[in-house]
Chains A and B, each alone.
Chain A
Amino acid sequence: MRLRRLPVRPAVPLLAILTLAQVASGQETEEALTAFRSGRYEDAISLFSRAVRRAPSSAEAARGLVAALREVGRYEDARRAAERYMERNPSSKELANSLGEVLYLLGDRPGAEASFTRAAGDASDSVLARFNLAALSYDRGDLESARGAFDHFIDFYNRNENLTATELRVVAGAVRYLSQTDWGLAQDALRAYDEAIEADPGDLEPRIGVGQLFLERFAFDLAQESFEEVLEISPGHPRALLGLARTFKYAGLPGAFDYAQRSLEANPNLVGARAFYAELLLEGESFDKALEELEEALAVNPASLKALSVLAAAQFLLGEEADFRATTQRVLEINPRYSQLYNTLAEASVRNRLYAQAVEFAERAVELDPTSWRGLTLLGINQMRTGEMQAGRASLEMAFEGNPYDPWTKNTLDLLDTLMQYPVTNTARFELAIDESQSELLALYVGDLAEEAYDSLSRKYQYQAATPVRVEVFPNHEDFSVRTVGLTGLGALGVSFGSVVAMDSPSARDAGEFNWGSTLWHELAHTFHLGLSNHRVPRWFTEGLAVFEERKARPGWGDDVSPGFLAAFLNHRLMPVSELNDGFMRPAYPEQIGYSYYQASLVCELIERDHGFQALVDMLREYGAGKSTPDVFESVLGTDIDRFDTVFDDYMDLKFAAPLAALESTHAPDGVPHRSREEIAEQARDNPEDFVAQLAMGTVLLEQGRSEEAVAYFERAKTLFPEYAGDDSPYWYLANIYREQGDLQQAALQLEQLTAINERHYVARIELADLRERLNDPSAAAVALEQALYIYPFDMELHMRLADLYAGMREWEAAIRERKAVLALDPVDRAEAQYQLAKAYFDSGDIDNARSVLLRALENAPNFQKAQELLLEIHGRGSQRMQEG
């Protein structure tokens, strides 16, 4: 049944259920209401209290008082106010619903039900009470009965004209409940809310309802707009602030924490906000803080399903199995069909990288409530994360059928349409799923590198990660982002779900933005860390260890030190090791995540230095046993983590003693001020130990064309901070100057030093290869080009050059790989590329493959003279062998 259009009762300037003329303390109540609606809650409480004192039988004043006390979290006071009214007016049922609402917030469900039942008969707000009864049924899992009751509100709407704003809001709320399973009703709910707003523009409740409706429909922009509208009228509205916090979280925008905190400042007993805040803390792996929040929430409302669900998630993540079982049992006692419990557990598992457990929880959610579309979406996405592609698709299809508005479901299904078409290349331990347009090329490199990483990591960690590991490479970043989080906009380059690794293809970014080789190695390191720790390794440790492994894999791979990082250290803007997880989960400034990666890798370096690599492996195992970071530090490293903070600072001081000293004068938190050329010159002259001054002076001279004079400054800067190899490092400038001066050897040396640190500098590697070729060092040239492939492998000329170099060095296997790469890039002159590949096979002694490829070349170009000659030579050799045989 749908809503039909009805006339709306004209607006009244009061709480929808109040009639000003009937209130004895009318003036005060009106003023109180104005204060309440504009968010001046203390004024409202004071004015309502005075009105109640003046007219103890005024239900409107008493309701207003209860509402105002409730909004700021003074639930006990609100309860007392309602009870006081009822004591004074024992025959009146007018405050029964208000009392029920407060009792519900305090977790007294039987009391709430009794009150709602009392009001549902003939109180002036009986419609609201009947709605609350239905909502209570819904909340205890009696879904059919609740839906039947909600359905009556549609009849109520259709049969009555001139409904009040409150009645319209109630109808809207009921239809909103029904729209959970019948999504088309969302429009009707919105219409009823709009009519409620039209009936009483000052009432904020329907506006809050509109925001929540939009949020449930994933219309984040509109939800934000609705909540912001409320906040324009009532700047500290706790539930509007909570609505915004939730909107920002689900939209992937920063700010959820801030809004949740502001909501709690406005109403410290808003259990939904506190549970939400605890959920955010859990996502940030701040388990202890989350538990504190939940304790507070449950002290207010011990029956809060939301808070109990988040508590269960925290207990699960902490490995507190008995408590976890007790909490889940408690939830299911209250509501045996509360699928959101398992959805919450599944989501918490995902945020803590427990994908297999997320699948199990989502399955439980769907078992409890087959119409839990969120559960089906979580199930599908996590089945895909654990490599169950077909099952994942089936779950998502069901979720989409039930709720076509969920962007996670739709995006992932859209992605699956293409992902399932990716050709799969199998190696010994990997399945490589790469977009068809790039599969032939990338599989040449991805497979070998992945196998090498597996060998290396399994040897180091004495652990065999489960195989096959599926590696998915996405040609554009949006697809990778959807694969990872269901939405676009993810900043990461790769992700490891354990047995599934997904990452950007080098085509997803501009050349030089990232090194896909080190990214793959990094993600595969995570696969080992996740496996060894039963997926319980904290974010900071697995990231640090993965960067640490990058650095071990190839010279130059992995994050490097920068002036910004050291300045952050000097300014105490790096997180202490004991709180390093927050640097990843809740960065305080934009660069902090990047700095935290590098810092975490240094922590791993330090642990290896002082305790050996085995300690890092042992730490993973201890995390796997459910230990917290402080406990792991105690048990494996024998140190208190807070004391380790000091050890780490000492390590930094020692490791970067020279550059820290060279940055001392320019590490002002506000950055380096803009200076004139004269000032820069003066600074450089007066501060020969200042890295920034020396580098700046070199740059100024270079800009003036005085490159010879610039050399001394760049050399000086390099000496002061040799670890810095960024794009604007002295190495780069010096290489250019030396090359222009004709000193190719020195130029090559600078570029070699740069590329030994900087993993992303594509042009430096190409130029280094040029120089090394000119210096008659093909082997070094090949090394540089080989490194460049891990940054950008789509340049055909690079592969041709590399093939020639390898052929010249008689490294046939590599030459063949490069000739295959040229073919994979779909050259116009395919016959020539096939001939070159055949020639490489022939030169390597692989006559069968040479002949096979050559036939393909001649099939395309039968008159191709070089290919004909090679064919004759192959057959000539064959004949010779037969004669010799």
Chain B
Amino acid sequence: MRVRSSLVFALTVAAPAMTAQTHVVVVSGLGGDAAHRERFHAWAVAMIDAAQQRFGVPSDNITYLAERTELDPQRISAKSTKENVERTLVDLSTGLQAGEGVFILLIGHGSYQGDESRFNLPGPDMTSNDFARLLDRFAAQDVVLVNTTSASGDFIKELSGPRRTIITATKSPFERNETVFCQYFVEAFARDVADVDKDERVSVLEAFNYATHEVRRAYEDDDRLLTEHAQLDDNGDGEGTGDPDPATTDGAVAHTFVIEGTVAVVAGTSSDSVLAGLKSRQRELQQAISELRIRKDTMEPEAYESQLEQLLLELARVSQAIREREGGA
């Protein structure tokens, strides 16, 4: 995982010498029937393939637990029992470096019983409190937990915290109809559809926005009332939002979290000093554009447009030079 410089919202850019990797845990819960088992498996595989093939996450960094291991013995590490989920996360927490990223995706059915949201697993279910205890082990890491099940809304309240992005497919535990959020959330990573800022990566915020947009469209197309309202919380206040705005509510952390496997060398460490200089200038320009956008409302429109164009033009030239230097276009 790499903490990406915020192009839009951050006033300062963190420039780590080396980005960290993402550790991906996918848990597919109780299907209930063959059709659901297969659907959940398909979504899990799509996510895992995207992590591996599109973002270069090594297979060692990916764990897939499912209801039936025989469905895909090569990919599925173990049965998705509560015990195995706990063991997986405990083991993962012991081997991580500070600053690394953990991406947990829960697929399946959820329920709300006894004042607790539950993720339905073979054997005992897991509650939001169970996950809260486990996530506490990742205090030094950036964590994304996505619960795509029905009745998942309560997870935000229980799991919200610093360095955490918690996403739920529903707004409250009372939205109990089957959800389709997972399909579109996974699609955001698996296809070229969600990278709206065109940095060739898909942030968790971009994936969330894409999924909520497509869920809404799907319900409208089917002429159904929207019965799932996905939420995102990453400012630790325990309150999710369906329309994150990094400048005012949630989304700033999710905007910087991308799934990444390769250890990328960034500016400042390249042996090619020209390339390093170009990349350094590229970041400066990106930063300048971010800052200009923040000042937009306080500026005369003509002045803003003029400065924006100058910065974008230079950025375009520098980016072109980088591509040429790297042997690209």
Q: Which residues of A contact B (CB under 8 A)?
A: 510, 826, 828-832, 851, 855, 858-865, 867-869, 871-872, 875
Contact = CB atoms under 8 A, between A and B. Distances in A.
B194 A861 contact: no
A848 to B, nearest CB: 12
A828 B185 CA distance: 13
Residue with the greatest number of chain B CB neighbours at <10 A, chosen from A826, A828, A832, A861 = A828
Interface stretch (B69-77, B133-141, B249-257, B312-320): B312-320
Given A860-B197, A865-B323, 16 more contacts: A510-B223, A826-B213, A828-B193, A829-B195, A831-B196, A831-B197, A831-B198, A855-B308, A859-B293, A861-B198, A861-B199, A863-B286, A863-B315, A864-B197, A865-B198, A872-B320
| Nearest 8 A/B pairs, CB to CB | A864-B198, A868-B316, A861-B198, A861-B197, A858-B312, A863-B199, A828-B210, A828-B213
B178 interface: no
Contacts of A826: 213
B214 interface: yes
Nearest to A854: B312
Contact of A829 (B196, B199, B317, B329): B196
Contacts of A875: 313
Contacts of A865: 198, 319, 323, 329
A453 to B, nearest CB: 30
B305 A869 contact: no
Given A869-B320, A872-B320, A863 B209 contact: no
B224 to A, nearest CB: 13
Interface string B254-293: 0000000000000000000000000000000110010001
B264 to A, nearest CB: 15
Contact of B315 (A860, A862, A869): A862
B309 A867 contact: no
A860 B317 CA distance: 18
B7 interface: yes
A832 B329 CA distance: 20
B200 to A, nearest CB: 8
Nearest to A864: B198
B309 A855 contact: yes
A828 B196 contact: yes
22 contacts: A826-B213, A828-B194, A828-B213, A829-B194, A829-B196, A831-B196, A831-B198, A851-B309, A860-B196, A861-B199, A862-B7, A862-B286, A862-B289, A862-B312, A863-B197, A865-B323, A865-B329, A867-B198, A869-B316, A871-B316, A872-B316, A875-B313
B214 A828 contact: yes
Contacts of B223: 510
Contacts of A863: 7, 197-200, 286, 315, 319
A885 B329 CA distance: 31
Interface string B297-324: 0000000010011001101110110010
A826 B213 CA distance: 9
A836 B305 CA distance: 20
A829 B193 CA distance: 7
B207 to A, nearest CB: 10
A865 B7 CA distance: 15
A871 B197 CA distance: 16
Given A858-B312, A863-B286, A830 B319 contact: no
A871 B318 CA distance: 13
**Interface secondary structure of A, over-half rule:** helix
A556 B37 CA distance: 49
Nearest to A829: B196
Contact of B308 (A510, A830, A859, A867): A859
Given A828-B210, A828-B213, A861 B196 contact: yes
Nearest to B211: A828
A831 to B, nearest CB: 6
Contacts of B320: 868-869, 872
Contacts of A858: 312, 316
Contacts of A510: 223
Interface residues of B, number: 30
Nearest to A874: B313
B197 A828 contact: no
A855 B292 CA distance: 13
B198 A855 contact: no
B59 to A, nearest CB: 29
B312 to A, nearest CB: 5
A871 B213 contact: no
Residue with the greatest number of chain B CB neighbours at <10 A, chosen from A510, A830, A855 = A855
B269 to A, nearest CB: 20
Contacts of A869: 316, 320
A829 B202 CA distance: 12
A869 B213 CA distance: 29
A510 B222 CA distance: 10
Interface in B164-219: 193-200, 209-210, 213-214
Contacts of A832: 196, 198
A803 B292 CA distance: 33
Nearest to B212: A828
B209 to A, nearest CB: 7
Nearest to A852: B305
A292 B193 CA distance: 71
A828 B218 CA distance: 14
Nearest to B201: A863
B128 to A, nearest CB: 29
Contact of A871 (B7, B209, B210, B312): B312
B66 to A, nearest CB: 29
Nearest to B309: A855
A557 B315 CA distance: 52
Contacts of B312: 855, 858-859, 862, 868, 871
Contacts of A830: 196
Contacts of B200: 863
B234 to A, nearest CB: 20
A828 B196 CA distance: 7
A859 B199 CA distance: 13
Contacts of B316: 858, 868-869, 871-872
B305 to A, nearest CB: 7
Given A828-B210, A863-B198, A863-B286, A868 B309 contact: no
Contacts of A829: 193-196
Interface in B1-18: 7
B183 to A, nearest CB: 14
A832 B198 CA distance: 9
Contacts of B293: 859
A831 B197 CA distance: 7
Contacts of A861: 196-199
Nearest to B210: A828
A832 B193 CA distance: 10
A832 B194 CA distance: 11
A883 B145 CA distance: 57
A648 to B, nearest CB: 42
Residue with the greatest number of chain A CB neighbours at <10 A, chosen from B214, B223, B312, B320 = B312
A872 B317 CA distance: 7
Contacts of B198: 831-832, 861, 863-865, 867
B209 A868 contact: no
Contacts of B197: 831, 860-864
B121 to A, nearest CB: 32
A484 to B, nearest CB: 23
A507 to B, nearest CB: 9
Contacts of A828: 193-194, 196, 209-210, 213-214
Nearest to B199: A863
B284 to A, nearest CB: 12
Contacts of B194: 828-829
A632 B169 CA distance: 67
A851 B309 CA distance: 9
Contacts of A871: 312-313, 316
A861 B196 CA distance: 7
Contacts of B195: 829
Contacts of B213: 826, 828
